[in-house]
A and B are shown apart, each in its own frame.
Chain A
Amino acid sequence: MAKNLKIKAARAEKDMTQGALAEAVGISRQTVNAIEKGEYNPTIRLCRAICRALGKTLDELFWEDEEDEA
Chain B
Amino acid sequence: MKLKNNLDEMQEQKLKQIEHTGFWLFFWGIFLAMMIQIAFFSGKNIWLAAGEFAVFLPVSVWVAVQCLRNGIWDRRLKSDPKTNLLVSLIGGLIAGVFCAIPVYRNFGSLPGALATFVFTFIFTAVVCFATLSLSASFYKKKVRAMETEPEGEEA
Chain A contacts to B: CB under 8 angstroms: 26-28, 30-31, 34-35, 40, 42-43, 45-46
**Nearest residue, chain A, Cβ from B8:** A27
Interfacial residues, chain B to chain A (CB-CB below 8 A): 8-11, 13
B10 touches A34 (CB 8 A): yes
Specify the main secondary structure of chain B where it touches its partner: helix
Min CB gap A29→B, angstroms: 10
Task: Please report the C-alpha to C-alpha distance between residue A28 and residue B13 in the assembled complex, in whole angstroms.
Answer: 13
Task: Report chain B residues within 8 Å CB of A30.
Answer: 10-11
Rounded to whole angstroms, the CA-CA distance of A55 and B13 in the bound complex is 27
Compute how far the CA of A14 lies from the CA of B9 in the bound complex, rounded to whole angstroms: 24
Alpha-carbon distance A35/B10, docked complex (angstroms): 9
In Å, the complex CA distance between A26 and B9 comes to 10
Closest chain B residue to A31, Cβ basis: B10
CB-CB under 8 A from A28, the residues of chain B are 8, 10-11
Closest to A22 in B: B8
Given contacts A28-B11, A31-B9, A40-B13, 19 further A-B contacts (CB under 8 A): A26-B8, A27-B8, A27-B9, A27-B10, A28-B8, A28-B10, A30-B10, A30-B11, A31-B10, A31-B11, A34-B10, A35-B10, A40-B10, A42-B9, A42-B10, A43-B9, A45-B9, A46-B8, A46-B9
Provide the bound-state CA to CA distance between A26 and B12, in Å.
14
How many angstroms from the CA of A30 to the CA of B11 in the assembled complex?
9
Some 23 contacts from A to B, beta carbons below 8 A apart, are A26-B8, A27-B8, A27-B9, A27-B10, A28-B8, A28-B10, A28-B11, A30-B10, A30-B11, A31-B8, A31-B9, A31-B10, A31-B11, A34-B10, A35-B10, A40-B10, A40-B13, A42-B9, A42-B10, A43-B9, A45-B9, A46-B8, A46-B9
Question: Could you tell me the distance between the alpha carbons of A42 and B10 in the complex, rounded to whole angstroms?
Answer: 8
Bound complex: CA A34 to CA B13 (Å): 13
Nearest-CB residue, chain B, relative to A39: B10
